[in-house]
Amino acid sequence: MSKKKVVLGVDIGGTNTKFGLVDREGNCLATSTMETASHRPPGHFFGRLHENSNRLLENIGEDCELAGVGIGAPNANFYKGTLENPPNLDWDYVDIRAEMGKYRPLPLAVTNDANAAALGEMFFGAARGMKDFIVITLGTGLGSGIVANGALIYGADGLAGEIGHTTVFPDGRLCKCGRLGCLETYASATGLCRTVQELFCNTMTPSELRSVCFRDLTAEMVYKAALGGDPLALEAFRFTGHVLGMKLADSVAHLSPEAIIFSGGLADAGDMVLEPARQAMEEQLFPIYRNKVKLIQTRLTQGNPAVLGAGALIWSVLEKEHAQTS
């Protein structure tokens, strides 16, 4: 009897790395977490990942065969199998393919976390059956993964899909990337907090948040205040969604997607962000695109979406190879 095939999905984050075994149907058979500890050399990390994932494989009870490894990480390059100056990690450059090759002679694919999220939605989530869609991850920053003609767009250098660093207002907020007016400085958890400050300054709107200093303010606090009816917090969400929607009209004009799917902490606020985004997007759309594009929340709420996405990444590569050789 042939063994059941599973893949290892890995999500490398600034503090912790999540990993798990994912089957072709999108079931997470087992997951675990370890410290990323990027102050130590990459070799140390990949050694521990090897040991920990072996243990996971032994522990699941079923007799499974590991068919490949998918890794999602910031600034990961699909074509080269490398990490290049990843934000929030101490490593400058990591040749993941070489590091993993020391342990497992297995198919490997890496890409950034938002691209992995897009593949997760395509294989297991809200984008099943779609050939043209965009996934936007609204967390600390704004990430994006773009699928057209049924394939993820990696671009000429493997680094396509940084909608968070397109310009909304040419003389707008300073972004940590050094540019002015990036979408990410408005539509993200940090962008929401910056908007709250702007409303403190520009309006007289009363708010319980006025007693919180900038350094202590979090998106969760703004969300809770908004749920409680705080008018300034509600306005901050409305503006965040509005700016997001304005800019999505540009993405639609490039790609004409069937849907734009949102995941990440800020997306959990649901219509508090998505409804003003819908309105602003429709207002800003070139007429031929109006009333066509769905804005929806992720459906990857079972299991770990980032691990599922990394699993989908390597499944997508395995199936493409299979299609080419059969």
Question: Which member of 34, 64, 255, 296 binds a second copy (CB under 8 A)?
Answer: 255
Count helices and strands in the chain by DSSP H and E runs: 8, 13
Question: Which member of 185, 207, 240, 284 binds a second copy (CB under 8 A)?
Answer: 284
Provide, rounded to whole angstroms, the least separation between the CB of residue 166 and a second copy: 4
Question: Which member of 65, 92, 157, 321 binds a second copy (CB under 8 A)?
Answer: 157
Q: Which of 112, 105, 53, 107 is nearest to 84 (CA)?
A: 112
Q: Residue 173 region, left (φ>0) first, then alpha (ψ -120 to 50), else beta?
A: beta
CA 300 to chain CA centroid, nearest Å: 12
129 binds a second copy (CB under 8 A): no
Element (H, E) at 248: helix 231-255
310 contacts: CB under 8 Å, gap ≥ 6: 9, 10, 11, 22, 70, 71, 72, 116, 120
Q: Which of 257, 29, 316 is nearest to 136 (CA)?
A: 257
Binding mask of the shown chain, residues 14 to 53, with x at each position contacting a second copy by CB under 8 A: ----------------------------------------
69 binds a second copy (CB under 8 A): no
296 binds a second copy (CB under 8 A): no
- Of 214 and 286, which has the nearer Cβ to a second copy? 286
Number of residues that bind a second copy (CB under 8 A): 47
Question: Which member of 1, 204, 288, 323 binds a second copy (CB under 8 A)?
Answer: 288
CB 174 within 8 A of CB 162: no
287 binds a second copy (CB under 8 A): yes
Q: Which stretch binds a second copy (CB under 8 A): 10-18, 118-126, 264-272, 279-287?
A: 279-287
179 binds a second copy (CB under 8 A): yes
- Of 40 and 254, which has the nearer Cβ to a second copy? 254
Question: Strands 16-22 and 4-12: what pairing?
Answer: antiparallel
178 binds a second copy (CB under 8 A): yes
CA–CA separation, 129 and 150 (whole Å): 9
CA–CA separation, 188 and 273 (whole Å): 10
- Of 152 and 222, which has the nearer Cβ to a second copy? 152
Q: Which stretch binds a second copy (CB under 8 A): 8-16, 51-59, 213-221, 249-257?
A: 249-257
Handedness of CA 321, 150, 163, 242 (dihedral sign): negative
Q: Which residues bind a second copy (CB under 8 A)?
A: 75, 84, 130-133, 146, 148-149, 151, 153-163, 165-170, 177-179, 246, 249-251, 253-258, 284, 286-289, 292-293
